[in-house]
Each structure stands twice: as structure tokens, then as C-alpha cells.
Structure 1
Amino acid sequence: MFDRRPKSSFVLPPIPPAAFAVAAAVLAVAAGLWVLSRPSGAAARLDALERQAASIRTAAAAPGDLTVFPAGSVCTNRIDDGFRQQLSNAVTGSGLKVDALDIRPEGRVEGKRPLMAYTVTLKGSGTYEQALGGLEVLDRFRPRLFLDNLSLRNRIDSVTLDLEGRLYCRWTQQS
């Protein structure tokens, strides 16, 4: 006769098993998308570039003495259009589209053996993998490019790469 349930209690309706299946499917799709968003081997390549950055920063901060730079880091003659084309072809070979490449003489760097500095500005676009490939190409390219600024901006389906740096060549009267 009497209902002994407290009047303030709230009873949830039973959850259908299909709701659990939908929640599990949403979690599986989210995990799959997260895995697909991670480029393969990008972390290892980025770590390798970071390890090399310390020695490059040391050489770039050194006075203009040829003996401070690692072998192959300094070119033996002046930079010309042929060199500019070689650099552009090397970066393009990685799949990165070179939108702009400019190499200008910056001036003479004094030291025991003076050097001529050239300012390099490169703008490129492509996929994240192509941008990392382009950076790897630049790392292997000789003479070495000493970076001052590097910007990698994400777009919806691509990235843009902007970098500024310097090349050094032995200074001669013709430089």
C-alpha cells in the first residue's frame, strides 16, 4: 500500500549497449586519426638536426677565422648564379617547392683569414615531410648554410618554410 521509495531519489534509465559501441568507435577513430597525424620518423630527424645545431652555432658565432669552421663549411670561390641554381635544385629534389631564393653579398668578415659573407633567404612550400627533407638536404649541402632564422608554418594541407642564413667564402680581391 505504501510506496517506501524516497520521493527525492532519481533513477537513471538503463543505457543501451549500442551507446557503449558508439563511444568505443569514436575513441577508436580518434586514436586512428592521432596516429595518422604523426609523420613517420620526424622525431628522429628533428633530434639529429638539433644535435648538429650546437656545433653550427659555435662556428657561426666565431670570429671570421677560417680555421674555426669544419672542413667543407666554407666555399673556395665566390657565389654566382650557378651556385644559386645548384642550391635550388638540391632543395627541389627533396620535393619542397622553392618559391623564392635570394643570395646577396653581406660583406667582408675580418679575422686571421678573412671571409666573405653572403646572406641567403629561402622560401619554400610543400608537405611536412618535404620540408624536413629540404632541411636535411641543406644540412648536407656544401658550403654549409649557417641559419639565423627558421620558420615552419602549418597550413591546412601543407607547410611553408622561411629561412634566413649565411654562407661564407674565402675572401679574395674579386669577392
Structure 2
Amino acid sequence: MAELNTESGGDKGGKVRSKKSNAKVDLTAMVDLAFLLITFFMLTTSLSKPQAMNLGLPDKADDPTDVPQKVDQKRTMTILLGDDNKIKWFHGLLESPEPNGKPTDATYGKNGIRKELVKRVKSVAEYCATKPGSKPGDGLIVIIKPSKKSTYRNIVDILDEMAITDVPTYAIVNDFTPEEKKLIDVK
């Protein structure tokens, strides 16, 4: 605030101005407090943990004495992943499909491939329970074949469907027969 000079007639004959001092605030304590708070919150919060799915991978070296096992076609289902989130699936082998096993289009989600997987898991479990010589672990075998045009997201989505529907055995295979290539490349 300004002061009034009420003196009459001085030597200088003018107004006297007061000197303003600069207000300085020491922010050292505030900086220390900020670093303490940052450190506290960094140590007390938990970072999001990545979600991972366990995958059984084959050994690197192939044993020449291994004999390939024959699998009953009634237990297998093949899923072909194409571009633009396109899925084609069929039961058994494409060369000799079992009845009602013709290639069919599907989508991801509960009304798409999941519905068929649930139905197929139940029917194969019933089939294996009545088949003589079957083991308790026998069940549906799904062969997943991603094409070069399918995305990483498609593979993750189909693996999620395997986990949701409790498919006991599935494999990701990258070799297509010529018939399967034609089937997945047809628009």
C-alpha cells in the first residue's frame, strides 16, 4: 500500500516512494514432499501383471524312432484362420469328412465358433466314453491352422476360445493342404 507524505515543504519537494521488497518463497520443502509422495505411490501401487497362457511346445530335436500316432477322425476338428477375421472349420479330414463335417464359416464369440466347440467337446466326450479301449484323457483334438493373412489377434482369440470351452488338446499347425488353401482363399 502506498504511504502519504504529509510533510509540508521538504528539501526535495516531491513524493517519497517506499521500497518494495521482493517476496521469495522457499520451495525446497515442497519439492521434498513431492518426491516423497511420488516414491510412496510408486512403492505401494502394483503394476498390472501380464496375462499369459501356458503352452506346451514340442522339443527342438525330432526323434527318428518316434512313430506317429493315428487319431480317430471323430475326435478331430480343424479350424482354418483366414484374413479379415474369417474362420472356416470342419470335422475330421477335409479329404474324407465325416457326415455333417463339411467346411462351415464361423465368427468369434459365443454365438460363433464357441457354440460349436462346446457342442463338439460334449459329443466327443460321449463318444469316447462308449468306445472300448479309450482312456479317461481322450477328448476333442482341435487343429488350428492360421494362414499367412491371419493376424496375431486371430490366434489369441482362438486360443481364448480353447481356454473358455475347456478343449483338452489343441495344436497350432502351419502346413495347409492344397484343398485347405483353396477353401481359405475363396472370398
TM-score (norm 1): 0.27
Per chain length, whose mean CA-contact separation is higher, i.e. which structure has more relative contact order (CA < 8 Å, sep 6+)? Answer: 1
Structure with higher Rg: it is 2
Higher share in helix: 1
Q: Say which structure is richer in strand.
A: 1
How does the TM-score come out when normalised to structure 2?
0.26
